[in-house]
Amino acid sequence: MASGTSLPLEYSTKQNEMNILGFWIFLGAEIVLFSTLFAGYAVLEHNTAGGPAGSDIFIMKDVMIQTFLLLTSSFTCSLAIHQMRNNNLKGLITWLLITMALGLGFLYMEINEFIHYVHEGATMQTSAFLSAFFTLLGTHGAHVTLGIGWLTLLIIQLVKRGITPVTARKTFIISLYWHFLDVVWIFIFTFVYLKGLM
């Protein structure tokens, strides 16, 4: 059954290997998708059209909390995969639930942040800067939201079926997705928030 004795369960079938490779190629496309949004933001960043600039609305403390929430969730997600590879279903589900809770915490912070901006008169229609900002951040936030829904369904499946080659592959793929979202956030943190606050 297993094609490679040293490789973990999620690579155990040809189908699994291909699905994981396919997902990596999808992530390559996602990198390019986000790069266009970053490019748009970088170009339009100073066109505030009389509205607030980044330094007027960004709050360093909140950004740091969001960053640490997502960073920690990426770590707990890697621990979940570690548990999966030790064939520990309970540990896997526990870490996935913690990952999801941290993701929800991040989302709560981000939605609050957006509501706060809108109340300050910084909406998507205010300026080119804010259009680019909300598009970039919104796309990332939508990915996180999708990830949480996906994770919920997967946890249900894991509870029902346990760790099989199919569920192991699915779990590994969502872990790739989750880590990728953290990678995108690192660049948002650096080139949107820190740069904007300078």
- The footprint of other proteins (CB under 8 A) covers 4, 6-9, 11, 17, 20-21, 24-25, 27-29, 31-32, 34-36, 38-40, 42-43, 60, 64, 67-68, 71-72, 74-75, 77-79, 82, 85-87, 175-176, 179-180, 182-183, 186-187, 189-191, 194-195, 197-198
Contact yes or no for 48/135 (Cβ under 8 A) = no
CA distance 43 to 123: 19
* Nearer to other proteins among residue 71 and residue 118 (C-beta): 71
Cβ 162 to other proteins, closest distance in Å?
11
* Nearer to other proteins among residue 40 and residue 52 (C-beta): 40
Cβ 165 to other proteins, closest distance in Å?
10
For the stretch 132-159, what's the b/e string if a residue is b when 16 or more beta carbons lie within 10 angstroms of its beta carbon?
bbbbbbeebbebbeebbeebeebbeebe
Residue 23 CB burial class (10 angstroms; 0-12, 13-18, ≥19): middle
For the stretch 67-84, what's the b/e string if a residue is b when 16 or more beta carbons lie within 10 angstroms of its beta carbon?
bebbebbbbbbebbbebb
Cβ 124 to other proteins, closest distance in Å?
20
* Nearer to other proteins among residue 20 and residue 118 (C-beta): 20
* Nearer to other proteins among residue 130 and residue 181 (C-beta): 181
* Nearer to other proteins among residue 44 and residue 97 (C-beta): 44
Instruction: Give the pair of three-digit tokens for residue 97.
Output: 């639930």
